[in-house]
């Protein structure tokens, strides 16, 4: 594992953090803050391309002391409840699961996979609202796999999860094994999925990719079925919605937390 220390404007912090996780970071620690600048220590697994990441984001790279990150995570990550039925708990906690909730155990380092990020929360709550017994769920850009796991534990019959990063796909597969759920995992994107197979799609990825894959959402869904799409901010909604509607999707609802947004879009009957 290595870390990169970088400074970014406070106004751009959330966008920077989203970009860093999309690039494969496994954790972020805020070291210092000034009036309009925040210094971040960003952690990456050893296999990540250190030179390319520094070239893209700037900053200085150094070997990481994983004890620092684990200690930080243990201090700041706690059990969380989502909706009426979901309970997400870090792996080092043995808190009992509240009655009526499903338990999802998460890894210390993955902020997007712990429910700590707003878009993950929006997607988890949408999965709870929308998943039904017997459904086939497609999870594009699965990350830690938390959304696929939630869908299965809430009653879906089948889940298939993909990530363009082979290491992320392998990590998700390991997480599913620990959770005792069977998910079909593959490296790739929506273009590898057959037509008309999904009762529900969930994708927590960048706005550019959601728009780029709009025709795939339409193609993959069964008629009348729904896509849960997040990973973007309020300023991106108009562009994402336009791409979805151009592909034939009907945007039915918008949900938000702080500046982050999630859309529910349906393929017409």
Query: Are 212 and 218 in contact, with CB atoms under 8 Å apart?
Result: no
Between the alpha carbon of residue 61 and those of residues 28, 38, 50, 115, the distances in Å are: 14, 17, 7, 27
Domain 2-74 = CATH 3.30.70? yes
| Topology given in CATH for the domain delimited by 117-266 | Rossmann fold (3.40.50)
What is the enclosing helix (H) or strand (E) of 266?
strand 260-266
User: What is the pLDDT, as a whole number, of residue 114?
Assistant: 56
User: What is the pLDDT, as a whole number, of residue 27?
Assistant: 75
Distance between CA atoms of residues 131 and 265, nearest Å: 14
Please indicate whether the domains covering 2-74 and 117-266 agree at the CATH topology level: no
User: What is the pLDDT, as a whole number, of residue 20?
Assistant: 86
| List of the chain residues with pLDDT < 50 | 110-111
User: What is the pLDDT, as a whole number, of residue 226?
Assistant: 99
User: What is the pLDDT, as a whole number, of residue 67?
Assistant: 61
The residues spanned by each domain of the chain are 2-74, 117-266
User: What is the pLDDT, as a whole number, of residue 21?
Assistant: 76
Global pTM reads: 0.80
Distance between CA atoms of residues 214 and 211, nearest Å: 5
End-to-end CA distance of the chain: 48
User: What is the pLDDT, as a whole number, of residue 111?
Assistant: 44
Burial class (CB in 10 A: 0-12, 13-18, 19+), 36: exposed
User: What is the pLDDT, as a whole number, of residue 106?
Assistant: 83
User: What is the pLDDT, as a whole number, of residue 236?
Assistant: 94
Helices (H) and strands (E) in the chain, counts: 9, 14
User: What is the pLDDT, as a whole number, of residue 155?
Assistant: 98
Distance between CA atoms of residues 26 and 17, nearest Å: 11
């Amino acid at each position: 594992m290595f870390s990169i220390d970088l400074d970014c404007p406070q106004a751009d912090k959330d966008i920077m953090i989203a970009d860093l996780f999309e690039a494969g970071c496994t954790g972020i620690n805020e070291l210092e803050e000034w009036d309009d600048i925040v210094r971040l220590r960003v952690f990456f697994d050893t296999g990540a391309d250190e030179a390319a990441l520094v070239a893209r984001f700037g900053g200085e790279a150094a070997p990481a002391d994983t004890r620092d990150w684990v200690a930080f995570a243990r201090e700041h990550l706690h059990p969380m409840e989502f909706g009426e039925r979901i309970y997400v708990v870090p792996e080092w906690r043995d808190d009992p699961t509240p009655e009526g909730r499903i338990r999802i155990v998460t890894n210390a380092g993955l902020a997007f996979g712990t429910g700590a990020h707003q878009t993950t929360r929006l997607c988890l709550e949408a999965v709870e609202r929308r998943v039904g017994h017997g459904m086939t769920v497609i999870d594009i850009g699965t990350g830690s796999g938390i959304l696929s796991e939630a869908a299965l534990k809430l009653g879906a019959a089948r889940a298939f999860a993909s990530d363009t990063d082979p290491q992320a796909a392998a990590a998700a597969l390991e997480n599913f094994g620990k959770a005792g759920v069977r998910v079909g995992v593959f490296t790739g994107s929506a273009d590898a999925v057959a037509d008309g197979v999904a009762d529900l799609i969930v994708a927590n990825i960048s706005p550019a990719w959601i728009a780029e894959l709009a025709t795939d959402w339409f193609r993959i869904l069964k008629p009348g079925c729904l896509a849960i799409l997040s990973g973007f901010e309020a300023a991106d909604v108009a562009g994402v919605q336009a791409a979805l509607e151009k592909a034939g999707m009907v945007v039915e609802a918008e949900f938000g937390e702080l500046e982050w947004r999630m859309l529910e879009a349906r393929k017409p009957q």
